[in-house]
């Protein structure tokens, strides 16, 4: 084959008006490379269909799922799915591996934006930002002394998970002089020695923390990990923050506990079902901040995600192994080795830019 490498992007990259939702310059690396062409899927769907991926050498998805059905048609030309983001619970990794396809993610792109988003939510909660905003809008300026904000010095920040994002959170929030604790069965204490974070068990973290932050991926082990019992361990003065994945938490239990003021408040960027229905009872609570799974969406994040995905597909097209491969076992499969070799030959035949 001597035609250009073809890349398909899911429709949610585009705004209703046809603009690029992640910023006009986010796909700059693809636009500069003459050996590739890219198109956006003609329609938006929650699950990518087999017909949508037909003929593409690479797919760059945002939110839509990639399931076993997506890959059900034989003779796939697909070499890589380059996920714009760090989570991949919406991708059937095993099916991709069986179909000799690499999955990559963009952890460096979201590490700083998510961590700063968490700090934004912590500050908004403790400074009673929404309540103060309502005072002005309701013409109740004289009631401002009734709202008491809280400082962070000496408070205990607990992270469930201390991977890429958890580590960055503790680095960035260090000047606030908080006490740092975390729980993560996969982390060796030596990995986090420079962060001055004490590793504890889940119950200790839930009971001691003034802020409980979810920073772990959604897996079979973490799904439903935080329920009525675990939330019941929290202090009445504590806050709960989830910017990871909604199904990690029993959302109904969280609603009851926040509504009954058994904790002081919560901030949620993710939910058990998305988008959150308009009539969801969480929207009626005044001690909860809700954001639409977008707390990390900044110009820096979009640029870095676009660059990361582009580097992944361009590396594979030139026969190289990209960074942040989720399923490295596929690289040892003879069919994948053959694909990479053929890609390299095709890349060279197309000539330099």
Q: What mean pLDDT, rounded, does the chain reach?
A: 94
Q: What are phi and psi of 106, to 5 degrees?
A: -125, 65
Mean pLDDT of 202-222: 97
**pLDDT in the model for residue 75:** 61
The CA distances from residue 241 to 157, 246, 259, 346, in Å, are 11, 11, 15, 48
Q: Is a pLDDT exceeding 80 seen at residue 352? A: no
Mean pLDDT of 222-228: 97
**pLDDT in the model for residue 308:** 94
**pLDDT in the model for residue 25:** 78
Of 190 and 240, the structure prediction assigns the larger pLDDT to 240
Q: What angle do CA 314, 35, 70 make, to 5 degrees?
A: 60
Catalytic residues, which ones?
245, 274, 293
**pLDDT in the model for residue 2:** 66
Mean pLDDT of 88-107: 95
Q: How far apart are CA 187 and CA 204, in angstroms?
A: 17
- For residues 201-217, one letter each, b for 16 or more C-beta atoms within 10 angstroms of the residue's C-beta and e for the rest, the string is ebeebbbbbbbbbbbbb
**pLDDT in the model for residue 353:** 52
Q: What are phi and psi of 118, to 5 degrees?
A: -65, -45
Does the pTM exceed 0.85? yes
**pLDDT in the model for residue 74:** 66
Q: What are phi and psi of 262, to 5 degrees?
A: -75, -15
Mean pLDDT of 165-172: 97
Please report which confidence band the pLDDT of residue 26 belongs to, taking 50, 70 and 90 as the band edges. Answer: confident
Please report which confidence band the pLDDT of residue 100 belongs to, taking 50, 70 and 90 as the band edges. Answer: very high
């Amino acid at each position: 084959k001597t035609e250009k490498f073809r890349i398909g992007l899911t429709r949610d990259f585009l705004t209703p008006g046809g603009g690029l939702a992640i910023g006009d310059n986010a796909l700059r690396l693809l636009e500069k490379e003459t050996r590739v062409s890219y198109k956006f899927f003609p329609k938006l769907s929650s699950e990518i269909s087999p017909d949508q991926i037909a003929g593409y050498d690479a797919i760059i998805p945002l939110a839509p799922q990639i399931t076993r059905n997506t890959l059900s048609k034989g003779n796939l030309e697909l070499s890589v799915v380059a996920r714009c983001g760090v989570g991949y619970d919406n991708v059937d990794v095993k099916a991709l591996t069986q179909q000799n396809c690499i999955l990559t993610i963009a952890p460096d792109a979201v590490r700083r934006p998510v961590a700063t988003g968490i700090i934004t939510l912590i500050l908004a909660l403790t400074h009673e930002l929404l309540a103060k905003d309502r005072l002005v809008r309701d013409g109740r300026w004289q009631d401002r002394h009734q709202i008491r904000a809280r400082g962070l010095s000496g408070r205990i920040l607990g992270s469930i998970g201390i991977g890429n994002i958890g580590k960055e959170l503790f680095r960035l929030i260090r000047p606030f002089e908080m006490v740092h604790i975390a729980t993560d069965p996969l982390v060796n204490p030596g990995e986090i020695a420079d962060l001055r974070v004490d590793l504890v068990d889940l119950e200790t973290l839930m009971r001691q923390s003034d802020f409980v932050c979810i920073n772990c991926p959604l897996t079979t082990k973490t799904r439903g990990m935080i329920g009525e019992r675990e939330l019941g361990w929290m202090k009445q003065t504590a806050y709960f923050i989830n910017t990871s994945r909604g199904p990690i938490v029993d959302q109904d239990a969280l609603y009851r506990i926040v509504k009954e003021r058994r904790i002081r408040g919560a901030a949620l960027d993710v939910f058990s079902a998305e988008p959150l229905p308009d009539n969801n009872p969480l929207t009626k609570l005044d001690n909860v901040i809700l954001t639409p799974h977008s707390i990390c969406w900044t110009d820096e994040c979009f640029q870095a995600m676009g660059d990361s995905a582009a580097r992944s597909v361009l590396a594979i097209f030139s026969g190289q192994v990209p960074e942040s491969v989720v399923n490295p076992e596929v690289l040892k499969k003879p069919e994948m080795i053959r694909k990479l070799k053929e890609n390299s030959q095709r890349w060279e035949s197309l000539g330099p830019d």
